[in-house]
Structure 1
């Protein structure tokens, strides 16, 4: 039954929030789009709500984020969710989940290419991005290779797809001169994220939660 839900705000302070916004902007900088923290008003847009836990909207505790999905069709005036309290103050992981869930709103599927935001393979750099690589897609419930976009394409190239659909922003594609390696290290209290694909094609899940050790 539909009912009002309240999602608490991102709880790790202004510096953490600023670093997260900066990372998301950098990942999407090559494409002709605007990322804003303010309501754009009555114009077509996509919205990403960041804060709280999955339980705030009635989802299970292992969910890191969730987004609508329409088999590769871009969705407008829709909302995706990233549960920042489930990540802890871990900007690289939050940035990955944020760009991943927003990617679903642009019609992107899950894929196998490790550096890509739409992949579940472990984060080995400070942030993932959208890659110029033709990757196979996978079924989140089984982890097995399947055609992309519910069977309409054999592979997915996220960079080419976004550049084609949105246009390429050659002025700010370098991140507006920002150092790409300025992201802070995760807080020692942030949980260790282990992404474990489950049943729904647009969820980002984890299997375990434990403190990081240094």
Structure 2
């Protein structure tokens, strides 16, 4: 019998589990704790467990654990309840302010995009060749993205995607006027600038 190559199957380790009687910082977050509340009302953590997550090949730091009994005692303190209420109000204010900033930013970007009026003409391309019809204007879209960025300031990755989609919509609308067969574009529902939420200070 000839020799063969056999794959060695290494059993996958189960993810680390928080021991009974302890709460991880993520558990505290779900109960309404913030990093500041943890620092003020719990102080140093009671234990640690391995972190099952990795960032690339690097394993993240151990997860901090707090005794559930100590957490429950702190949650019954009036001072904690008052501080937690203030923290929730502050977070709500920050979220409202963030939504307002994003809405204002979106309106500013949309206004800059709408300044572009694509100048297109029907070229001798076969019916249905949507990509060929768009191809001559690819550089125009790139140029317009740069113009919007120069006027509005540095674009984040989500903002640049938003601007590109909006410019592509205007280009397709112009091409639909030039070619009888070109599909009329539809504005995507809920097309909004999505910005990654800031780090809220939580740590595992």
What is the TM-score with the length of structure 1 in the denominator? 0.19
Greater radius of gyration (CA): 2
Judging by fraction of residues, say which structure has more helix.
2
What is the TM-score with the length of structure 2 in the denominator? 0.20
